[in-house]
Structure 1
Amino acid sequence: MTGLDQRRDDAVALPRGPLVGFAAGSLGMGVWVTVPGLLLLYFLTDVLAVTPWLAGLTLLLPKIADVLLHPWIGHRCDVEQARRGHRRRLLLAGCALPVAFAALFAVPGDLTGAAAAGWVAVLFVAGNLLFAAYQVPYLATPADLRIGYHERTRLMAFRMVVLTLGILVSGLLAPLLTGGDDATRAGYLRMAVVLAAGMLAAMAVGVVGIDRLRRTAAAPAAPHGAGGWRALAASLRDRQFRALVGAYLAMSTTTHLVLAGVPYYAEYELGRPGLTTVLVAAFVAPALLVTPAWLALARRVGKQRALLAGQAAFAAGSLVLAVGRPAGLPVLVAAVAVLGVAFAGMQLLPFSMLPDVIRAAGAQRAGTYTGVWTATEATGAALGPYAYALCLAAGGFVASSAGQTVTQSPAALDALRWGFGLLPAAVMVVAVLLQRRYTLDGSARSGTGH
């Protein structure tokens, strides 16, 4: 891209209406990102009587399919873009996700243990496939638009605010709809059906919003290059993309680990299952307030430096949580709020840096790059709960059925707390080390990286 082209792109300001419509799609995706991550591991171990190690595998193994399917969906997404000038067909197929979400929690009453785990695993695979069909073309949209470095951050800031709203609303409503402290299978099904209806409406609005954005500022469609494994290999040879995607894998793993650990930390460390909603609110709500601050910071110091600051804050907050009950409830809630502030930056900044990388690479394979990215996100979403499940298993945590009371051993309680605090801090340090290898931000900010 020439300097003149870059200045023209920087001059394009997207209208607020299509921006809000585009962002609405994240409201539906936020439910899928949040509720299984928050409740599915607990649903398996404390409602369906699945042992922790098997529950962890139930969440991990379906993600292996994602590693293969997401890049393939990205390739198909690029083919659609080259042939038709849009990616709408995959988006519409992905709108079936709410059906899979409801079925995920509709486990027949006679299934427990391994049989129940099998049901969940099959529906989790189907849901992840449909989620990818929507998410990959959705996240490829910024790279398809004729906009510059800062406008891409603004676009993703709108998405971040609405995504946060989806995470917050679903994260607060889901535990309440299940029955709170007296959650039952019927309560989980009620929760899933109610939230699925909201998902469908939001995702449909997102499709309309993307169409409006494309009519406003669509970039000329690039010819589609080699697909399949060759396209995948080309994206992985991109040094900037490897650094960014590696750091994001660590970030995704850490945030999903914390999310999976919230119900356990509230019940066994703090002694009040109802505090799950308080901790979720403390984790998610700050993003509604601080996203404009992250946007301003990125404009001032660049996305890379702002992201490194967010990663460091997340690690610091996690160490406070490792102290547990002696720190006092107000301090622990404040520490979770610090994680929430950092989480907002770790959602906004990497997602706005991804189209920078794609545009620097030529944008011919935006779908493939995005497919690898979403596969990485899905992998982190599986590794986080699995890592926490391994912590529980190592400590001797005992699974139970709904309504059954189990006294956990001191070792299990220690593992539960350390897995919620020390392990996230350690993984976030890895994210910082990987993120420092990303060097594109300066040139992307000045326009020479396009």
Structure 2
Amino acid sequence: MTGLDRRPAAATDATLPRGPLAGFAAGSLGMGVWVTVPGLLLLYFLTDVLAVGPWLAGLALLLPKIADVLLHPWVGHRADVEQTRRGNRRRLLLLGCALPVAFAALFAVPGGLTGAPAAAWVAVFFIAGNLLFAAYQVPYLSTPADLRIGYHERTRLMAFRMVVLTLGILVSGLLAPLLTGGDAATRGGYQRMGVVLAVGMLVAMLVGVAGIARLRGSAPASTASGHGGWRALRTALRDAQFRWLVAAYLAMSTTTHLVLAGVPYYAEYELRAPGLTTVLVAAFVAPALLVTPAWLVVARRVGKQRALLGAQGAFAIGSLVLAVGRPAGLPVLVAAVAVLGVAFAGMQLLPFSMLPDVIRAASNAGSTGAGTYTGVWTATEATGAALGPYAYALCLTVGGFVASTAGESPVQPDAALAAVRYGFGLLPAVAMLAALLLQRRYTLDATARAAS
């Protein structure tokens, strides 16, 4: 089939073997570290270790994402070119395996740097890391669309990925605060954490590259080559189903990264126990290891769209409980975070399995370019990863939050403490309701399910 051939590339009912599935999913273990640790600790690292003001810290995390928005679709185009010329996207994946170097450098800020110079150091290596992450993530997430598999099998493939990604998020989210020194975190502790986790990232990502090769050899591959460049980008942006899915995912990504950025602040300033950062991260992430198979069952019974709307609603309700703060009691607050974790599992599995549905529908209509679609998607995810911490940083700025260096404990004004609480609870609830309303405009799910 050529790029101009408009005959549908029919999906097959093939069941992917578990071995190649596990190998593919292993790549997400390393990706989970990059997804989690900067979002969890980088804003706090800037404001409470490097004495960077919250407005500048938020800006240092936001500006690097502008490059992502522009370059992710280009990386997607290059991934499509590699697929057409070589039959795989392996070279980009291997380039992306340099990500651990940038991750380690991100937290290795020289001892003499504080304030604006420290923010500049972090911003430079954040840009480098984001671009390397795109080089790995875009071809990685194009894999489900590269295989001629059905609606439910695409969900199963992404469920394997979700479980391993969750494991990466959980392990790194628990280990990172401990490796930094916990309540007595230091620059040296952050540097040690960066190096240790970088080694684990590299191993997992290399295993993922090998796993993708095995997976592509175990299932029929799409033979459509399609078009790339600006033409493919215009096609993707004109796809109404894709636009609504992307818009909803932007709101979801922003919200979840906002919550991650707020965890250490909520633990220290609202719960008055910095050590509870690990507990809250575990409560947020651990449920996904148990409930991802349940989300897979729900999606099979009611469809991905309806399941996702349920996850978004649950996240909004849990966030409102967190806005109450200490009066609700610690057990209730931890349970509310666990509800967010259950919803988070669905919001990771379902949109990522709906993306190849959209790409397959576009391919059947004569438009291909899985890499370009995925590049726009990952640019959206990167944008949300920046907007979330930035939104939380703005909340802190409005509240008059006082930045500090490691070892200092400035007295925060009441308005700053209120900003910590409402930014962690009320703002995510509003953002997630916006995601739910956007998601309702997506209407492809019933058609994709019926065609499988």
Tell whether the 8 Å contact from 1:10 to 1:151 is kept in structure 2 after alignment. Answer: no
Cα offset, 1:405, TM superposition = 1.0
Cα offset, 1:119, TM superposition = 0.2
Aligned pair 1:148/2:150, yes or no? yes
What residue is the counterpart of 1:323 in the other structure? 324
Amino acid at match of 1:380: G
Match of 2:128 among 126, 138, 141: 126
What residue is the counterpart of 1:221 in the other structure? 223
Cα offset, 1:231, TM superposition = 1.7
What residue is the counterpart of 1:384 in the other structure? 388
TM-score calculated relative to the size of structure 2 = 0.97
1:100, 1:39 → 2: CA distance? Answer: 16
Stretch deviating more after TM superposition (62-71 or 9-18): 9-18
Cα offset, 1:11, TM superposition = 1.8
Aligned pair 1:404/2:400, yes or no? no
| 1:109-188 alignment, distance < 5 Å | 109-188=111-190
Aligned pair 1:108/2:110, yes or no? yes
Amino acid at match of 2:388: G
The C-alpha deviation readout for 1:345-366, integer Å capped at 9, x for no partner, is: 0000000000000000006210
Runs (4+) off by over 4 Å: none
Q: What are the ranges of 5 or more consecutive residues in structure 2 without an aligned counterpart? A: 1-5
The C-alpha deviation readout for 1:391-412, integer Å capped at 9, x for no partner, is: 0000000000000111101100
What residue is the counterpart of 1:420 in the other structure? 424
Q: What are the ranges of 5 or more consecutive residues in structure 1 without an aligned counterpart? A: none
Cα offset, 1:306, TM superposition = 0.1
Tell whether the 8 Å contact from 1:81 to 1:221 is kept in structure 2 after alignment. Answer: no
1:132, 1:267 → 2: CA distance? Answer: 33
The C-alpha deviation readout for 1:323-381, integer Å capped at 9, x for no partner, is: 00000000000000000000000000000000000000006210000000000000000
Amino acid at match of 2:438: L
2:225, 2:260 → 1: CA distance? Answer: 41
The C-alpha deviation readout for 1:169-215, integer Å capped at 9, x for no partner, is: 00000000000000000000000100000000000000001000111
Amino acid at match of 2:232: A
Cα offset, 1:242, TM superposition = 0.2
1:198, 1:20 → 2: CA distance? Answer: 17
Cα offset, 1:224, TM superposition = 3.1
1:305, 1:109 → 2: CA distance? Answer: 51
What residue is the counterpart of 1:255 in the other structure? 256
The C-alpha deviation readout for 1:414-440, integer Å capped at 9, x for no partner, is: 011000000000000110110000000
Tell whether the 8 Å contact from 1:63 to 1:379 is kept in structure 2 after alignment. Answer: yes
2:281, 2:136 → 1: CA distance? Answer: 25
| 1:14-413 alignment, distance < 5 Å | 14-225=16-227, 227-362=228-363, 364-413=368-417
Cα offset, 1:217, TM superposition = 1.0
Amino acid at match of 1:212: R
TM-score calculated relative to the size of structure 1 = 0.97
Give 3-state SS (helix, strand or coil) of 1:122's partner: helix
2:47, 2:231 → 1: CA distance? Answer: 41
Tell whether the 8 Å contact from 1:85 to 1:221 is kept in structure 2 after alignment. Answer: no
Stretch deviating more after TM superposition (341-350 or 401-410): 401-410
Amino acid at match of 2:35: V
* Identity between Structure 1 and Structure 2 (%): 82
Amino acid at match of 2:101: V
Cα offset, 1:10, TM superposition = 4.0
Tell whether the 8 Å contact from 2:315 to 2:429 is kept in structure 1 after alignment. Answer: yes
2:331, 2:213 → 1: CA distance? Answer: 45
2:330, 2:231 → 1: CA distance? Answer: 52
Tell whether the 8 Å contact from 2:182 to 2:275 is kept in structure 1 after alignment. Answer: yes
Tell whether the 8 Å contact from 2:288 to 2:344 is kept in structure 1 after alignment. Answer: yes
1:273, 1:416 → 2: CA distance? Answer: 14
Tell whether the 8 Å contact from 1:79 to 1:224 is kept in structure 2 after alignment. Answer: no
Give 3-state SS (helix, strand or coil) of 1:406's partner: coil
